[in-house]
Amino acid sequence: MQHNIHFQNEQKKVTVGENENPSEVMNVTNSPVLFGCRTGICGTCLVNVLEGADNIVPSSEDEKEILEIMAPDYPNARLMCQVKLQGDIKVEYIGK
Ligand code: FES
């Protein structure tokens, strides 16, 4: 089963396979999302999930803590390096 990650304002989409890590796939496909630590600490990979928030496995307590600090105005923010997909999503990159 494959899942698609669509990016707002871009024609591009990234397709992630069942056992693939979304951040690794996004890295090799030149997605607009940048990555730093890949361990859920730096916030470089912050995205606002516009569609399909229910298609992502819920945040861990550690991810929630970082999201509260780095994206308090975005209730659907996620750290792209931490997400596991269960379906298609559409995101807007809000990290730096
Ligand atoms: S790359 Fe650092 S939090 Fe995701």
Ligand 1 pocket, residue 41 CB under 6 Å = yes
> Long-range contacts made by residues 67-76, C-beta under 8 angstroms, separation at least 24?
70/43, 70/46, 71/43, 71/46, 74/48, 76/48, 76/49, 76/50
Rounded distance from Cα 11 to ligand 1 centre (Å): 24
In tens digits, what is the pLDDT along the chain, a chain of 96 residues?
999 999 998 888 999 998 899 999 998 888 999 999 999 999 999 999 999 999 999 999 999 999 999 999 999 999 999 999 999 999 999 998
Give the CATH H-level superfamily of domain 3-93: Beta-grasp domain (3.10.20.30)
Is 49:75 a contact under the CB 8 Å cutoff?
no
> Long-range contacts made by residues 9-14, C-beta under 8 angstroms, separation at least 24?
9/92
Ligand 1 pocket, residue 44 CB under 6 Å = yes
Q: Residue ranges of the domains in the chain?
A: 3-93
Ligand 1 pocket, residue 43 CB under 6 Å = yes
